[in-house]
Structures are given as structure tokens and as C-alpha cells.
Amino acid sequence: MEGFSGNNDLSQLQATMRAIELASTSIQMQINPAASEAIILSLGQSSQPYNTCQFILENSSVPTARFQAAAAIREAAIREWPFLNADHKRTLITFCLCYAMQHATSPDTYVQAKVSSVAAQLMKRGWLEVVAAEKETLFYQVNQAIAGVHRVDVQFAGIKFLESLVSEFSPSTSSAMGLPREFHEQCRRSLERDYLKTFYQWTREAAFSVTNRIIESDSVVPEVKVCTAALDLMLQLLNWDFRSNTSDPKINVFSAGVRQDGDSLRRSECHLVQPGSDWRDVLILSGHVGWLLSLYSALRPKFSREGYWLDCPIAVSARKLIVQFCSLTGTVFLSDDGKMHERHLLQLLSGILEWVDPPDAVSKAIENGKSDSEMIDGCRALLAIANVTTPYVFDNLLKSLRAIGTFTFLSMLMSEVIKVLITRNTEEETWSWEARDILLDTWTALLMPINTTTANAFLPPDGIKAAANLFGFIVECELRMASASAFNDEGDSDYLRASVSAMDERLSSYALIARASIDVTIPLLTSVFSDRVTRLNQGRGIIDLTETMEELYSLLLIIGHVIADEGEGEMPLVPNAIQTQFVVNSVEADKHPVILLSSSIIKFAEQCLNPEIRASVFSPRLMESIVWFLARWSSTYLMSSDEIGEKIVDSGHHYEHSSKKVLLSFFGEHNQGRIVLDIIVRISLITLTSYPGEKDLQGLTCYMLLHSLVQQRHICVHLVALNSWHELAAAFSTEKTLFLLDTSHQRSLAQTLVRSASGVKNSEESSQYVRNLMGHIATYIVEISSKSNLKSIAQQPDILLSVSCMLERLRGAASASEPRTQKAIYELGFSVMNPILVLLEVYKHESAVVYLLLKFVVDWVDGQITYLEAQETAAVVNFCMRLLQLYSSHNIGKIGYWKEIYLYLILLKIGPI
């Protein structure tokens, strides 16, 4: 193959072209693909194959061969760029650019797209070398094409080239060139500073130039393709990650307080567009938004005609751009108290409103076969607006167009979407699922700042009322869905029978809505909960209560999210809305709405301690919701260590904290806290002993509820003084049903019980507490390892299960080691050293048991390493060496834990032996 400046022998060029054509065709037909691929690769890997590639592009009748030739130009040019002279580089770029324009009418659009992409990549590769005059010359040709000086198809090709160029200069979509990151960043900054706005203007003018032709025509014309490409490019340009103006010192008052974070509750993407003040003339003052809305408005009547429909490319592109304009924010608007921004959003909202209003008529049309795309895009537009406004501005927007505020409309729209969702009652994720999630994100965007601040960032009155109405409807629908799921025999619907974790995201959004009108929603939840409990009590033993139990399950999850937050590794605080919206005198604490609601739930949960009531009412699924609620609630309210209720430094915040003071005092150590703690422990014991085989319920009890109780020492002090806790500890040692728990649950339970020892008076008593708790395990391990017939009985299912359970309990205890209990846990491990070696020998072919043995040793050594004296260190090192030798002789290569053990041996050797 000839190089760029090599011999242009026609026969050689033709022979190479035929070889590439044959190889490309063979790959498509799966004929000797390896050899064909090698031939194609050799083209790009050869030295300066540019003449050959150009020949193939200009003469081959095989599209895939032309595609491969373009790819070879790109590969070779990027590789050889430092060695090419300026003329060669310029010629390559010019050839690719001209080829894309000259062949704009070719039906093989993917070939033209590839060549255009190569031109863009080569232009970027030489961007920092080429002087401004050369760039202007190239862009002049592009501008002429985009302006429509040539044919319509050339205009389209010019727009597509700019699309490729912008894509290459954007860090998220750029192609790899083997260059430092700084190169790409310099190119990005240069394009944004010098050309991006110009590209937008060219593209906008191209769209302007074909608009009349499209609107006046009764059928689809070629200009539609140009306009669609222009709209797509404008959308791409607005999606640019603008950075040049991010340090602009001017502050846009309108956007002050707008939430910029990507909160975990968010499901829908919303990219804020912040191009800066330099773009104001192009985006705001030019009438661009008015033209865009008029274009789409003119397209809508055409959707029933041939060639146009609601989801045709030009309609989709126009809607996407309209939605993106809703995300415009920052210094592109004047600092005029938000008046320019408000006019901008009002203009957009006036055009978008007909996509979603009236909600019932729109949803009915969708259910009758109309596309849902306008509705979904309308919801996205509301989300975008919510992300760039404050609640007050958001609510006032619609009041200029309707007799209601935007919050009221948002509530009406979401209510309609939820109504459709529960009516359809299907596992398939329909448009109503997507619309609901987007609208929930809209509420989240508006309410999250209010949920996380104590400033006067409250909702307008209409917003509070709308939130209250919507939440009431949500509760009604959720209970209706729960009731409908009670006798669902067709499989567990993702929506109807979702687990707590699966529902958490949706319920967290519901909680924000509830907290926006907390003074209404808490009494509502109390009333609804009391009503369902009354139904249970009146119908027990008389009617089937399955529906009511499902409603209570759903209701407890909703209430738990509303009145408490998930700690995410930290101790959660009382939600801000509850702190600020209720002012209750401490003398009348029992009248506090949250205390009334919490007390009614705890009183209801306590009924499960009655065997007769438990058998008829408290199903495993209902108990799951109770345990989950108690775990979440107790982390916030039960004996909280937060003393702010008693130590309010700033008297000016008295009313803000009075609600919190009353709540935490009521369920504190010196009030109802100990009583509630005892109830919770007794409920935990019931779930572990009276619901055999219910792994989910028992997992929630061990990992969430009991685990949360031992995180704070002052609670452990009360725990270890409770008879109920001693009953749990005794059951752990002797109750056969607890040995049937999932082994991982037993590990968690052992860890929790050992951690509670931090509440015992002193170290000696703490150690004795652990010895009493774990002594039976050590005794069992020693006795089983001493049996003369161990090898013959070791594989019996009951023996295997017992050994596994005991090892898991040992792991749990070892992982709970702390200074107070270290001595007892060391003694525990020391007492089973030799038995562990015996068990390792016996179970050398049982990888699951070997795994548990090694994990126990790792956890035990890890917890002891910083406390050991010289003599103890020597004993542990000796034991680990024997363990490692035994393991290596039998199990090498089967389990990789020898590396961990070896690491601990090295650490131990640091100490004196």
C-alpha cells in the first residue's frame, strides 16, 4: 500500500481497494473473519496509507470498504501526527470535510457520519497547532454549508459535522488520542471561549431559514431533516458543561437558594444550563424561545397528517430543546430580582401547559392510544423549572395564566398520574410509572431545601395546602393498592408486594411531601392508623383481616419515613419539619401529635406479646413492618443522646427546639424510654422464637432493630438491667429455636449481645457477662472436638449445622471486642484453640466449615492484636502457625484466606515473643 507521498500506482491502488472490499464483505458474511480482519487492520497500521484510503473512499462501490478506509485514515493520522508536516495535516482535514459535504446525498449515511467524525477528530488533534486564520478558513466553509448556500443535504451535512466536532471537544464524549488530559482541557476551553456561541448562532439561523417552508408545507419536506438536526445540535450545545462563567462574581438573586446537589432521592436526570452572561443576547434577547414554541405549536396540528406524528424526530427534538430551556439559569439572566428569568419561565410554561393540562383529559387520551411522550416531557419540564426556582417563584408562575398556583396544578397532575397507576394495576412499567417518578423528583427539588434548613424557607400557603391534599390522596391510593395485593395469587408484583428496601426511594419522596404540611399529615396518619387498628380489634376471629393487615404494613412504612430519617451510618436527627412546626408545652407532652402517633403504634405493636392476638393478627409480614418501624423510630427518638432539649443556648430558637425537647424528653431515660425499650426487646424475642423460618423478619430483628439498640452506651446501661434482655440472652444460650436461625443472623445476634456488655458497671462484670453469655459455645466446641467418634458423626446434618452455628456465634462475639470485654473474648478464643485445629482436620474437605473456622480466627486475632501481652502474643502466634500449616497441608488452593492469616502473623511478630 502506498503512503501519502508515495508512488500513486493505479494498479496497486485498485488491488488494495479490491482486497479491502473483499475483506469487508467477508466479515459481514462471516467468511474467514480472522483473515479478513487482519487485512483491514493492516491498512490502518501501514505507514501513511492516506492516498490509498482516499482512493477507496472516492472509487469503491462497497460502503463498508469506504467506512474502513475512513477509519484507517483516523488511525494512521492520530498515530503519525507528530511526523506529518502542516500541509499534510491540513490536506487530510480538508479532504474529509469536503468529502462529507460532497457526498451528502449518499444513501450510506453511516459512511458520511464516519468521515465527518474523522474530520472532527483530526481538527481537534491539530487544534492547538493551527493558527486562528486557518481555523477561520475551514469554518467559513462549514458556515456556508450550514447557512444553506448550497443544497439542503449539504446544509444537513454541515450541521452533522459541527455535531461531531462538539462531541469530540466535550470531555465526556471525546475519542481517545493517547494525549495528556491537559490537551483535551485546553481544546475544550478554547472551543467554549471562541466558537461555541458562534456555532449556536449558525445552527439557530439554519433552523430559522427552513421553518417557513416546513410550516407552510402540507407534507414532509427535506427541510424537516435540516431543522431536526439543528434542534439536536442546539440541545447538544446547551448540554455543554459550561465552565468559563462559573466563577462569574455576579449573583443571580432569582436563583439564590436553588438546590444544586444531586440528592440520593432523585431518579430523573436534570442538567442545569449555565452558559453565563455572554449568551444572553443569543438565548434570551433574540426571541429564540418564542420561535421554538411557535414552531412546535405549528407542528402539533400536523401530527395527524402524513409524515408527522407526536413522536416524529422533529417533534421529539423540539420538545427536548424546550425542556432544556427550562433548565437555563445563572448569569445568563440579568440580576434584576429574577424578573427576566421569571418572564422566560412563564413563556415556556405557557407553551408546555397544553401538553399536560387538563390532566384527566390528557391521561384519558393516552389510555385511549395517544402517545405519552408529550405528557412525560411536560413532567420533565416541570422538574427542570423546579430545579431553577424557589418554591414561591414556582408557585406564582401559573397564577399569571390560571386561577391556581403551580403547586396546586402539580398536585392535581400527580394525583391523576397515581390514579392511572393504581387503576392499571400492572407490573409493567407504563408511562404512569415514569411520570410519577419524575413528578416525585419535582416535589423533591422543591422541598429538599425546606427539609434541611431551619431558616424561613417555608412553602407558600397554596404549596402547603397542595402538599397536604396530595399526601392524603397518596395515602388513600397506597392503602388501596395494599388492600388489592392481599389476595394476589398471580405472583408478587414489584409495586404491590415490594420489600421495605425496594419501596424506600418512593416512600422517602412521599415523606418530603408529608413534612411540607406536617401539621395536617401527622393527625391524618394518626387517624388512619387508629381506624385500621380498630378494624383489626373488632374483626379479630370474625372476618378475614388480610386486607387490613396489608394496609397496616404499608401505613407503617409510610409513617416511619415521615417521622424519622434513615441514619446512613450516623445517628439521625428529628426531622426539621417536626422540630419547627409543633409547639407543645412539656406539661402536655402526651398531646404532641408525633408522640400520640408513636405511642399508638408502640401500643399496637405490644399486642403481639399476647399469644392469642399474635396468632390471629400479627402475620410475619405485618411483623416485618413493625420491626422495621421500631428500628427506624428508636434510632431517632428512643433515649436520644442529644441533650438539646435541656441545653438550648440560643433563647431565640426556643420555639424551633421546643418540639424536639418535648419529643426526646418524653421517650428519654427518665420518662417513657425504659418502658418502650423493654417492649421493643420483648417484641424482638417474640420474632426470633415464635416465627420459625421467617428469615426476612428475623433478619430485620437482628440486623436493624437489635443492632440499633446497642450503638449507644447509655442505652446499653438500661438494656442489661432489663429482665427482658436477660431472657433474650438466656434464650440465646439455651433456646433450641434460636439455633435454627439463619447462621448469619446468629452471628449478628451474638455480636449485639456482646456489645451490650458496654452497659455493665465495670470491666470485670462486663467480662463475666460475656463469659456467661458465650460459655456454652466454648463448652460445645471443646466437647464436640473431644468425641472419639467425631470423624464418623461429623458429616451428620445436625452435627454439621450445630458446628456451623457455633462458629458463627464465635465470629459475632469476636467482632464485638472492645476494651471492656477484650479479656473475656481472648479467653473464649484461647479455650477453643486446640478444638479449632481438630475441627479443621476433620472438616478439611468441607469448604464452608473451613471458611467459618478461618474467618473466626481472622476476626478474633483482629480484635485482640492491640491488647496482647508478650506471653499471650506467643500463644496466639504459635496457634496461628499451627493453623496455617494444617490448612496448607490439606486445603492449599481451595480458599484464599491463608493470605489474611499470614498478614496477621506478620503483624503479631512485631510484638515481643
Residue-wise pLDDT tens digits, 199-209: 999 999 999 99
**pLDDT for res 771:** 93
**Where is average pLDDT lowest: 101-110, 306-315, 409-418?**
306-315
- Give the pLDDT mean for 871-897: 76
Quick one: CA torsion of 663, 667, 670, 675, rounded to 10 degrees? 160
Residues 439-454: pLDDT tens digits? 999 999 999 876 655 3
- Give the pLDDT mean for 518-537: 95
Cis peptide before 692 (omega within 30 of 0): no
Paired residues of 480 in beta bridges: none
- Give the pLDDT mean for 671-681: 95
Q: Can you point out the beta strands (E) in 584-648?
A: none
Q: What percent of the chain has pLDDT over 90?
A: 68
- Give the pLDDT mean for 676-703: 95
- Give the pLDDT mean for 540-545: 84
Q: What's the Cα-to-Cα distance from 585 to each of 17, 647, 658, rounded to whole Å? A: 91, 16, 8
Confidence (pTM): 0.86
* Whether pLDDT at 463 is above 50: yes
Under 8 Å between Cβ of 43 and 52: yes
* Whether pLDDT at 6 is above 50: no
pLDDT band at 245 (very low <50, low <70, confident <90, very high): low
Q: Which residue has the cell 443522646?
A: 641
pLDDT band at 891 (very low <50, low <70, confident <90, very high): low
* Whether pLDDT at 589 is above 70: yes
- Give the pLDDT mean for 524-528: 97
**pLDDT for res 267:** 59
- Give the pLDDT mean for 751-779: 92
Complete DSSP assignment for 659-713: HHHHHHHHTSTTTTHHHHHHHHHHHHHHHHHSSTT-HHHHHIIIIIIIHHHTSSH
Under 8 Å between Cβ of 658 and 589: no
Q: In whole angstroms, give the CA distance from residue 130 to residue 741.
A: 72
Complete DSSP assignment for 163-189: HHHHHHHSTTTPPP-S--HHHHHHHHH
- Taking the alpha carbons of 556, 561, 567, 571 in that order, is the dihedral positive or negative? negative
**pLDDT for res 426:** 66
Q: Is 174 left (phi over 0), alpha (psi -120 to 50) or beta?
A: beta
H or E, element range at 821: none
CB count, 10 Å around CB of 789? 7
Complete DSSP assignment for 302-363: GGGSTT--TTSHHHHHHHHHHHHHTTB-STTS-SSTTHHHHHHHHHHHHHHHHHHSSHHHHH
Residues 783-826: pLDDT tens digits? 999 999 998 998 999 999 999 999 999 999 999 988 889 999 99
- Taking the alpha carbons of 201, 207, 212, 213 in that order, is the dihedral positive or negative? positive
Q: In whole angstroms, give the CA distance from residue 494 to residue 476.
A: 19
Residues 32-71: pLDDT tens digits? 889 999 999 999 999 999 999 999 999 999 999 999 999 9
Residues 349-360: pLDDT tens digits? 999 999 999 999
C-alpha cell of residue 332:
445568563
- Give the pLDDT mean for 277-299: 95
What's the mean pLDDT when you consider all of the chain? 87
**pLDDT for res 186:** 95
- Give the pLDDT mean for 133-144: 93
C-alpha cell of residue 802:
450445630
Q: In whole angstroms, give the CA distance from residue 748 to residue 743.
A: 9
Under 8 Å between Cβ of 832 and 857: no
Q: What's the Cα-to-Cα distance from 661 to each of 564, 586, 643, 646, 712, rounded to whole Å? A: 16, 8, 8, 7, 19
Across 578-587, 742-751, 843-852, the highest mean pLDDT is recorded for 742-751
Residues 643-674: pLDDT tens digits? 434 443 333 444 445 778 888 889 988 899 99
Residue (of 228, 254, 441, 413) closest to 335 by Cα position:
254
383 residue type, one letter: L
Q: CA 43 from chain center: how many Å?
A: 45
**Where is average pLDDT lowest: 122-136, 492-506, 736-750?**
492-506
- Give the pLDDT mean for 738-760: 93
* Strand, helix or coil for residue 273: strand
Please report, for the chain, how many H helices and E strands are present, in that order: 43, 0
- Give the pLDDT mean for 140-152: 91
**Where is average pLDDT lowest: 50-54, 302-306, 656-660, 829-833?**
656-660
Q: In whole angstroms, give the CA distance from residue 399 to residue 381.
A: 17
* Whether pLDDT at 161 is above 70: yes
**pLDDT for res 82:** 95
Where in the chain are the domains?
Answer: 246-433, 734-913
* Whether pLDDT at 568 is above 70: no
Residues 726-738: pLDDT tens digits? 999 999 988 888 9
Q: CA 797 from chain center: how many Å?
A: 42
* Whether pLDDT at 249 is above 60: no
Burial of 161 (0-12, 13-18, 19+ CB in 10 A): buried
Q: In whole angstroms, give the CA distance from residue 458 to residue 463.
A: 9
Quick one: CA torsion of 325, 330, 335, 338, rounded to 10 degrees? 50
* Whether pLDDT at 226 is above 50: yes
- Give the pLDDT mean for 633-652: 64
- Give the pLDDT mean for 678-691: 96
Burial of 136 (0-12, 13-18, 19+ CB in 10 A): exposed
Residue (of 475, 497, 357, 478) closest to 416 by Cα position:
357
- Give the pLDDT mean for 531-560: 92
- Taking the alpha carbons of 544, 547, 550, 554 in that order, is the dihedral positive or negative? negative
* Whether pLDDT at 913 is above 50: no
- Give the pLDDT mean for 516-520: 93
Q: In whole angstroms, give the CA distance from residue 649 to residue 646.
A: 9
Q: In whole angstroms, give the CA distance from residue 689 to residue 740.
A: 10
**pLDDT for res 5:** 36
* Whether pLDDT at 250 is above 90: no
Q: Which long-range contacts (CB under 8 A, 24 or more apart) does 763-769 make?
A: 763/819, 763/820, 763/823, 766/820, 766/821, 766/824, 767/820, 767/821, 767/823, 767/824, 768/824, 769/720, 769/821, 769/824
229 or 640: which leads in pLDDT: 229
Q: In whole angstroms, give the CA distance from residue 594 to residue 573.
A: 14
* Whether pLDDT at 882 is above 70: yes
Q: CA 76 from chain center: how many Å?
A: 41
**pLDDT for res 2:** 40
